[in-house]
Amino acid sequence: MDTEQIVRTFTDYYREHGHRRITGSTLLPDPGDPVLFTSAGMHPLTPYLEGRPHPLGRRLVNVQRCLRTTDLEEVGDSRHLTVFQMLGTWSLGDYEGSRSLDWAHRLLTEGLGVDPGLLHATVYGGGEQVGPDTESLRLWQERGVPVELTVDDNWWSNGPVGPCGPDSEIFLWSGDTPPRSTPTGDDRWVEVWNHVMMRHRRLDDGRLVPLPQRNVDTGLGLERLASLLQGRSSVFECDIFEPWRRTLPSLWPLDEPSFRVVWDHLRSAVVVVGDGIRPSNTGRGYVLRRLVRRLLTVLWREDSSRGVGDLPVELITHTSDHFRQDVDPGLVRGLLVEEERRFRQLLERGRNVLARPRFRGPLGEEDLAYLHDTHGLPRDLVTSLRGEGDPGTDGGGAVRP
């Protein structure tokens, strides 16, 4: 089943259960939202989780693109991408969590053909202010799904304050052998779907108060589910990455770990540009800039003549089509090429400045401030040029363009 079919099966299923499909937002949250990028499907819905009536009612379903800068360092493992799609459902003060889990179980096993024996759930085991989630526990026991109780891993919040609640996560077994152990005991259990019983609000002083209504907010990772349904053990092997796998190896012969970073970051950069962001030294533009620098650093490890000018436009088109973005692929590539030119220039300037006698010895705070303020050389770039890591990747060997 390819990703398009999964999306259709998912949204049809929830529509049959009374949910209205809402359009996913861009990666840019509403003005006034403290986060840089939408990092979960619930983001654009926060006011409605807090009680404002939604014009389309109390049952919603959508597909939301998300970007998690917090996952940048995880990219390259089998399950984390920087930009990914989250299939979401909401009960805005309507049905309860156990019904949501029941539907999820049916959709996975009956609608999407997952072997019920390959499922594991986790449930909130209770903490200081909120007791264990016995309702979810009972549902999973009735369905014969093994459950692990945790405390920290099963409490969802979007930040230190705001809407939050206990959650129940659904894991799929990705191993070649029969399932064993539990999600916290064996990482071949892959988390695919989180159901958050969004009933509380955390105040500044840490206290929890009830939200005006009892919501359920769920998020299912599309690329994770697709790869597992397609019998693959990493998100980089699902159908979405097929054109990348087919096209890029002949152009840039890299090893699999390097490819994963390059594919992920290029794809993420294309989507971020498609949502209107341009490279800059602050905020969202800086995230874009970091993505490009990190991928170039990996690309240049063996051969600094490689560059994003060679990126086939079909890959850009494939990505923006997948995210339903309307952008000129030539423009996107031009922007990446310009960013590459600036980075090369910056590296050259950095090397020249650092070759001066003044900077031969250990660098103090004052030197770092001077290099930054006068020469535009960020601290991480300076340390990596001194052989302490890759510029842009926060680790690894020095770059050699």
- Which positions touch Mg ion (CB under 5 A)? 169, 191, 194
Which two tokens mark 395?
């680790």
CB of 240 to Mg ion, least distance (A): 19
Q: Cα 231 vs. chain centroid, distance in angstroms?
A: 21
Q: How far apart are CA 171 and CA 363, in angstroms?
A: 48
| Residue 120 in the binding site for ligand ATP (CB under 6 A) | no
> Of the candidates 14, 48, 84, 236, which one interacts with ligand ATP according to CB under 6 A?
84
Whole-angstrom CA distances from 363 to 318, 367, 382 are 45, 6, 10
> Of the candidates 6, 60, 63, 86, which one interacts with ligand ATP according to CB under 6 A?
86
CB of 349 to ligand ATP, least distance (A): 34
Output 169 or 223, the one with its CB closest to Mg ion.
169
Classify each residue of 294-326 as buried b or exposed e, where b means 16 or more C-beta atoms within 10 Å of its C-beta: bbbbbbbbeeeebbbeebeeebbbbbbebbebe
| Residue 197 in the binding site for ligand ATP (CB under 6 A) | no
DSSP E strands in 141-255: the ranges are 147-150, 155-157, 162-173, 189-202, 208-221
> Of the candidates 81, 229, 287, 308, which one interacts with ligand ATP according to CB under 6 A?
81
| Residue 221 in the binding site for ligand ATP (CB under 6 A) | yes
Taking CB under 6 A as the binding criterion, the range among 117-125, 185-193, 311-319, 336-344 that sits at the site for ligand ATP is: 185-193
CB of 191 to ligand ATP, least distance (A): 4
Output 98 or 194, the one with its CB closest to Mg ion.
194
User: Tell me, what amino acid is at 95?
Assistant: Y
CB 244 within 8 A of CB 315: yes
Identify what 40 binds: ligand ATP, Mg ion, none; CB under 5 to 8 Å per kind: ligand ATP
10: left (phi over 0), alpha (psi -120 to 50) or beta: alpha
Which residue from 248, 249, 334 is spatially nearest to 292, judged by alpha carbons? 334
Q: How far apart are CA 242 and CA 226, in angstroms?
A: 12
Output 190 or 381, the one with its CB closest to ligand ATP.
190
β-pair partners for 173:
189
Say how many Å lie between the first and final Cα of the chain, rounded: 42
Instruction: Specify the DSSP element, H or E, that contains 252.
Output: none
Tell me which residues in 26-55 interact with ligand ATP (CB under 6 A).
40
Which two tokens mark 256?
């699999």
> Of the candidates 94, 223, 239, 390, which one interacts with ligand ATP according to CB under 6 A?
223
Taking CB under 6 A as the binding criterion, the range among 28-36, 55-63, 78-86, 345-353 that sits at the site for ligand ATP is: 78-86
CB of 221 to ligand ATP, least distance (A): 2
Q: Which residue's CB comes closest to ligand ATP?
A: 221
Output 98 or 168, the one with its CB closest to Mg ion.
168
Output 68 or 289, the one with its CB closest to ligand ATP.
68
CB of 22 to ligand ATP, least distance (A): 18
Largest CA distance in the chain: 73
**Helix (H/G/I), strand (E/B), else coil: 205:** coil
Output 152 or 255, the one with its CB closest to ligand ATP.
152
| Residue 264 in the binding site for ligand ATP (CB under 6 A) | no
| Residue 240 in the binding site for ligand ATP (CB under 6 A) | no
Q: Which residues bind ligand ATP (CB under 6 A)?
A: 40, 68, 71, 79-81, 84, 86, 191-194, 219-221, 223-224
